[in-house]
Each structure stands twice: as structure tokens, then as C-alpha cells.
Structure 1
Amino acid sequence: MDETSLLSLKAAADARDLNYGGLLEDILELAYTDILKPGDRVVDGGAHIGRHLFPIAKLVGRWGHVHAVEPLPWLYDRLGRELKKRHLHNVKRHRVALSHSRGEASFVAFRDFPAYSGLERRQTPFDDAEGGRETITVQKVLMDDLVPRFFGKVAFIKLDLEGGEFDALRGATRTLTKSRPFLAFECGRQSSGNLYGFNRDDFFGFFETHGYALYSVGGMPFTRDDWSSPSVCWDYFGVPVERTDIPPRLPQYAIERLASL
């Protein structure tokens, strides 16, 4: 996988003391801003503080709709207040955890570093006391159950679940088959696989079975051969193979963000 644009972006971020991860989020926003249109339906898994939820809700407009999933109760409540303040009435919040199975589960919550929270305890640069670790109880749900059959086609799914993204997609097979949405998700490759019980062949086999091609956030193809390669990328796009209009556009988003620095 050629990461030239991302390596250049990281070097530019380091030179300017900018947050590289934040720049990757900016690239993601450029992508869905280009692809989404008024009236679209979206699932935001791991809505957090609304970094992407709010712009997505504005993009799809009053005739569109967003299902926002956020298991942490204090962030769920904060999103509700912010949505009301911003007069965004096209969002339905869900305080659940997306997975490939249903039922009650323990959820590792870090009150002081909520972005590291998840169904499994991932590696962190802080210990439990520093992170304000709590264990909360959540309901695991399938995305296919969350999105009603009458909801209409889902145009876009964004997932940031601290390693649980693949499990969430495994719970969305009907949605992937019927709606053929554009995907944006994080993946720690085998480190995520070690936490959630999957390997390279499970991962790529799933997307091949469902007719999806994978790309880095820099717009380069992401294949089995890249699974164990050193990388500065943890954000990926999934594109239905029939959407031949999308892949040529993907590299431009990283180039555009780099040019704006």
C-alpha cells in the first residue's frame, strides 16, 4: 500500500506540531462531504462528542436521518443537549454497543479519556487509575436490528469503536447487502483482531464475500499483503465494488488536506 500522501501529511503535521489523527478525521470529513447528499440515511457508530455527527446531520438535511450510537451515558447525554442547541432534529440516539451478537455486556469506560473506551480493554498510554476507568453495563445490538427495514437505504456507515468496528460490520450483513453503503471505519489490524477474535483472512474474506473493496484514508488499495506492513494509517474506506465512481476520488481528499496546511 503506497502511503506517500499520508507520510507527507504526517511529516507536515509533525513539523507544525499538529495532531496527525485530527488531520485523518479531516480527510474523512472531506470524503463524506463529497459523497453524501440531502435526504441520505447514515449510521454513526461511536458518535462520541459529535465531531462527525453534526456535519453529517447538516449534510443530509431535514429529509435525511442519522442513527447515532454512543454507549457512554455522559457523552450520550451531551450529544442530546448539543443536538437540541444546534436544532438538529434528524438524529436518533442509541445508548447501546454495536456488535455481531445481542445481549448484555460489560463495557470498559474511561471517563478521563473516553475515546479509548470499548467492549474490550485495549492498550492505552495510561493506566486504569489515570484514565478514570469504570465498567458499565450496555446492551449489545446488531446494526441490522438498529436500522428498521422501512428506514430506506443507508448511504454511509462511519465506525470508530476502538477495535470493535469489524464486529459491528459482522452484525450489519443485511444492511451491507441491501443498502450497499459507503463505509469509513478504524482498524488496528491484528491488534484489533487479537482483542475481538479475528484474523487477516476473516477480515478480508468478509469484505470479499460482501463485494467491498478496501482503501486507506489516503485512497490507496488496502489488501491482504498490507495487513502486517508498517503503517501510519488506521482509518479505512470500504467501497461497494459496483461503485466505480468512488475510488478515483479517494486520493484527492488527503492531497487536498495536505495542500491546505
Structure 2
Amino acid sequence: MLSIEQRLQHIGDLAKWGVVTYDFEGILERHYRRWVRPGATVVDIGAHAGRHLKPLLQCVGASGTAIGFEPIPSVFDNLRTQLEGSGAVLVNAALSDSIGTAEFVFAQGCPEESGLRQRVYNMPDRAQPTIIHVRVDTLDNYAREFGRLDFVKIDVEGGEIGCLKGAQETIARLRPLISVEYGFPSYSAYGHTKQTLFDLAASYGYVLYDIFLNRLAQQDDWLAACDALCWDYIMVPIEKEAEFVARMLQPPPDTFIEARLASEQETTARLRVANAELEARAKSLEERAKSQEERAATAERQLVVQTARADELANRNDALLNSTSWRVTAPLRLVSKIVR
């Protein structure tokens, strides 16, 4: 039987050889589309641009509830504009294990890496971290009246442990499936280690899987997998593990296939628009270059004419100075100058 290290090495080799590509967001979507059913209640913590909130809305349907938390005001406003009329419940707040207001490190150059603490940025020169103040809440406080909670997505750039601690009562009561992004560049900013999430999941009665559906119930397996190929993990309630495995083995639902096709069509449409814009810009630049060439040619012709005129005037001046009349009248000019 292959060890976790060998399995992950095999996946890494396939990616290195170009046989497979890493689309972690797409893989995550594939998993929750198999889990979330119409009428479900889902929560997206760190909704950002709505990459997952939009398909989750499709999953829950008109009879379900999809809630998105996003603390950055400008990002929240964009999300609200995008999802206007969709039925999504949007909350402009960060979730953690406390309630109130807190400093928040807004990475202006890479807002998706913003968080309650400054993490190790993928592109430090671009990040431009700025301190803002945001509202902070706990899931326990917000979900106090919830009668069900089927799925929670947490991507809060290192604050996942605080978020899970602030949801302890809700998790114990409603037992949702939870996806968590957990990687060293972000969790280390909070003083956490690989072991932190493993211990917390176990204390909540959950078993960890990686996004490739490797079961990481043993500590050695978890330590080998964490930070190896990905930062995306799924926390599965132990009592729902058999159901989880069964659903993950099912064919993708029609809505997933339709959504992927729609996404591809949308991407194709965006590329066409982008290409059209690039062609228009190229044409505009070409016309400007042509206009500048014409101006340069005109200026060159004018310079030739002006040079010729200057040469002609110089020749006339030389001819005048060398003429007999100029020499004959020289004494008169001198007398006139003295008299003045």
C-alpha cells in the first residue's frame, strides 16, 4: 500500500510532467457540489470575489441559504454589486473567536492575502500592506438561531484556528462539513503549527482529508501531507465520514457539468472581449505611430525648406558684403555712425 508521501509524490510528478494541472479551486468546487443539496445552509468565510459563493448559491437553490462574510469594504461592495438579487446574504465582517472591532492588514496589491495579521506574502514587493479597522464577529454569535448548517468554507489567511474556535458551539450542534485553507505562510503568523489544526479537528470529533481525498486521520500522515502539495483540507464529522466517502465517489451532478461549461463559455467570452480590446489598442497605437511618422516627415520637409532659405539668405548677405556698392558706401556709413 502506498504511503501518503508516495501518493503525493506521484501527484507531484504527474503535475511536473504536465499530465495533470493544479486547479485547487475547481477541485474544491467538485467536492462541495457533491455534498451540498438544494435547501442546504452554507457559509463562505472569506468570500472575497465570490469564487465559491456563486456556485454554492446554485447548489442550495431557491429553498436554501448561502451566507458570505467579507471584511474588506471595497471588496465587499464589489461582491454585493455582483450578487445583487441573487438571494445571497452578505455580511461585511471578519469571523474569529472574538466580537468587536479589530485591526486588519489589507494587502492592497494582493487583497486575497489580507487578514487579521500580516502573513508571508507570495509577492512581497506587490503586497502594499495597510492597516484598516474592521468589524469582527464569531460564527457562534451569528448562527445562534440556525436550525441547520451543511457546509462551511474557511479561507481567512491564517486566521482559520480562531475562526474555528469562535464556531465551536455551532460545529458541535450542527456538525457541518468544513473546508479549510491552512498553509505555513499564513498560519505561522498566528503562532500555529501543522499540529494545531490536527489537534483541533480531533477535539471537535472531525477527521481530516486533503483536497485529493487522502484520509489524514493518523498524525504521521497529516504531518507528511500538510504543506506538501496544497493548503486545502476538508474536515469531516466522524459520524458522517461514510456518507462523505460515498458522495465523493458519485458522478458529478449535472449542475457541476453545466456550471463548468458555463464557466468555460464565460471565460471564452471574456477572452474574446480582451482580444478585441487588445486589437483595438494595437490599431490605435498603429494609427498614432503612422500619424507621428507623417508629422515627422512634414517636420523634416519643413526643416529642409527652412535650411534652404537660411542658406539663400546667407549667400545674399555674403554677396552684399562683397559687392562694390557696399565697399564704396563704407565711408558714408562710418560718418553716419559718428554723427549719431
User: TM > 0.5 between the two?
Assistant: yes
Q: Secondary structure at the match of 1:120?
A: coil
Structure 1 pair 186/5, CA: closer, same or farther in 2 (3 Å)? Answer: farther
- Look up the equivalent residue of 2:43 and give its one-letter code: V
Structure 2 match to 1:38:
38
Output the CA distance in 2 between the equivalents of 1:57 and 1:181: 17
Offset at 1:185? Answer: 1.1
Unmatched tracts of structure 1, length 5 or more: none
Output the CA distance in 2 between the equivalents of 1:200 and 1:252: 31
Specify which structure has the bigger relative contact order, considering alpha-carbon pairs within 8 angstroms and separated by 6 or more residues: 1
Structure 2 match to 1:137:
133
Output the CA distance in 2 between the equivalents of 1:251 and 1:115: 31
Q: Is the 8 A contact 1:155 1:180 kept in 2?
A: yes
Structure 2 match to 1:92:
89
Output the CA distance in 1 between the equivalents of 2:33 and 2:164: 22
Structure 1 pair 27/160, CA: closer, same or farther in 2 (3 Å)? Answer: same
Q: Is the 8 A contact 1:107 1:137 kept in 2?
A: yes
Q: Is the 8 A contact 2:178 2:235 kept in 1?
A: yes
Structure 1 pair 112/155, CA: closer, same or farther in 2 (3 Å)? Answer: same
- Look up the equivalent residue of 1:153 and give its one-letter code: R
The answer as to 2:54 corresponding to 1:49 is: no
Q: Secondary structure at the match of 1:195?
A: helix
Q: Is the 8 A contact 1:220 1:251 kept in 2?
A: no
Structure 2 match to 1:121:
118
Output the CA distance in 1 between the equivalents of 2:33 and 2:14: 20
Q: Is the 8 A contact 1:239 1:247 kept in 2?
A: no
Q: Is the 8 A contact 1:158 1:185 kept in 2?
A: yes
Bigger share in strand: 1
The answer as to 2:204 corresponding to 1:210 is: yes
- CA offset digits 1:21-70 (Å, max 9, x no partner): xx011011011111111110011001010100011012101111122010
Q: Secondary structure at the match of 1:135?
A: strand
Identity %: 34
Structure 1 match to 2:142:
146
Deviating more after overlay: 3-12 vs 218-227:
3-12
Bigger share in helix: 2
Output the CA distance in 1 between the equivalents of 2:93 and 2:192: 22
Output the CA distance in 2 between the equivalents of 1:252 and 1:232: 25
RMSD after superposition: 2.7
Output the CA distance in 2 between the equivalents of 1:144 and 1:56: 21
Q: Is the 8 A contact 2:120 2:185 kept in 1?
A: no
Please identify the structure whose Cα radius of gyration is greater: 2
Offset at 1:204? Answer: 2.0
- Look up the equivalent residue of 2:119 and give its one-letter code: R
Structure 1 pair 135/156, CA: closer, same or farther in 2 (3 Å)? Answer: same
Q: Secondary structure at the match of 2:208?
A: strand
Output the CA distance in 2 between the equivalents of 1:131 and 1:199: 24
Structure 2 match to 1:178:
173
Q: Is the 8 A contact 1:217 1:250 kept in 2?
A: no
The answer as to 2:189 corresponding to 1:195 is: yes
Output the CA distance in 2 between the equivalents of 1:39 and 1:61: 6
Structure 2 match to 1:70:
70
Output the CA distance in 2 between the equivalents of 1:233 and 1:151: 32
Q: Is the 8 A contact 2:67 2:90 kept in 1?
A: yes
Output the CA distance in 1 between the equivalents of 2:72 and 2:14: 32
Structure 2 match to 1:247:
245
